[in-house]
Structure 1
Amino acid sequence: MALGATIHTFDVQLADVDRGRYESLTLRVARHPSETDAFMVTRLLAYCLEYEPGIAFSEGIAATDEPAVLVRDDTGRMVAWIEVGAPDAERLHRGAKLADRAAVYTHRDPSKVAAAWAGKRIHRAEEIPLVSFDPGFVDDVAGVLERRNAMTISITERHAYLELNGSSFSTGIHEQRAG
């Protein structure tokens, strides 16, 4: 955890019907002072939507050689490189080469994120999903964050239903390819 980070705890009930994942999770998420609440919420959503054994948050801003979220197999080999925000093409290229698969989750305008990659070399770009949510969704969720959070998230037919600290939200989960 980064020095000066604010720790947020999430008790999560995850029901991902699309992938057949049902879990109860307790997550401690460190938010660096330079990280926005929207970025942290997007990291949390990426973790939940990508959940599988071996998933973990990286050390955040301090981990310049790792993505925001990653998945390792039992041997420690990185199998998924999951970026958040708007990573540059070079970083995404490196991640796609290091892991079996890569993905990007963004709280920004996905067309602007993808435009920054146009014409740049990204390994297996056509296989990398760029995942976004309905406009305003991430900011609305960030608006009800507390230090301790109770969260239920259900995903079905590429739609997420989220309850956080007594407030309910829903969003489409939009996906396009990086290349």
Structure 2
Amino acid sequence: MAIGSTMHAFEVELADLDRGVYAQFTLRAAQHPSETSAFLMTRVLAYCLEFEEGIAFGGGVSTADEPAVLVRDLTGALTAWIEVGAPDAARVHAGSRSAERAVVYTHRDAEKLLASWAGKIIHRGEDLVLRSFDPGFIDGAVAVLARRNALALSRTEGQLYLELNGSTLGSSLHEHRLR
């Protein structure tokens, strides 16, 4: 018998001063058995940090032609391909070709990820944004992750302030570009 996904619910309060986005919403995220808690937490943070009308989680592990998070306009056209983790260059290339913009959020070593993409073809690679967090930030969030979560996230001047289930964490949001 196959193991099913674990559902996580987040009551989110978002204050993104850098983008002028303020919102309160409930977010439900299914964690596939093969998905680590660090990947799930990064996926939830990517959703929050890219929050706009038309945002949704992608089809997940079972849907290879969709990213972890995506944004569609009112016509259904894909406007943002938001990948999580350590996708290979071919996947990032395909995503960048599919949408107006492509972003990758990683909980891994950003420099190693950039090195793995070096010399590979990535459509509009100069426009691609890779974002990462301070070491230990995602691990700290995972340590207090529950099935039902209260999450307050603020971003100002590139700094993140996360309150998750009563614990407070902070990190810089690092932005990396292909060389």
Q: Indicate the TM-score class for this superposition, using the shorter chain for normalisation.
A: over 0.9
Displacement after TM superposition at 1:178 (Å): 3.1
Displacement after TM superposition at 1:77 (Å): 0.3
- 4+ long deviations beyond 4 Å: none
Displacement after TM superposition at 1:175 (Å): 0.2
Q: Which runs of 5+ in 1 are unaligned?
A: none
Aligned residues: 178
Q: Which runs of 5+ in 2 are unaligned?
A: none
Displacement after TM superposition at 1:3 (Å): 6.9
Q: Does 1:115 align with 2:115?
A: yes
Displacement after TM superposition at 1:59 (Å): 1.8
Q: Does 1:69 align with 2:69?
A: yes
Which residue of the partner structure matches residue 165 of structure 1? 165
Contact 2:3-2:33 within 8 A present in 1 as well:
no
2-structure distance, mates of 1:64, 1:23: 30
Which residue of the partner structure matches residue 176 of structure 1? 176
The CA deviation string for residues 2-25 of structure 1, in whole angstroms up to 9 with x for no partner, is 971000000000000000000001
Which residue of the partner structure matches residue 125 of structure 2? 125
CA root-mean-square deviation:
1.1
Aligned to 1:51, what secondary structure does the other structure show?
coil
Aligned to 1:4, what secondary structure does the other structure show?
coil
TM-score, with normalisation over the residues of structure 1?
0.97
Which residue of the partner structure matches residue 149 of structure 2? 149
Letter paired with 1:41: M
Aligned to 2:35, what secondary structure does the other structure show?
coil
The CA deviation string for residues 99-158 of structure 1, in whole angstroms up to 9 with x for no partner, is 000000000000001100000000011101100000010011011000000010000000
1-structure distance, mates of 2:176, 2:162: 22
Contact 2:144-2:165 within 8 A present in 1 as well:
yes
2-structure distance, mates of 1:99, 1:171: 28
The CA deviation string for residues 23-59 of structure 1, in whole angstroms up to 9 with x for no partner, is 0010000000010000000001110111110000012
Contact 2:71-2:80 within 8 A present in 1 as well:
yes
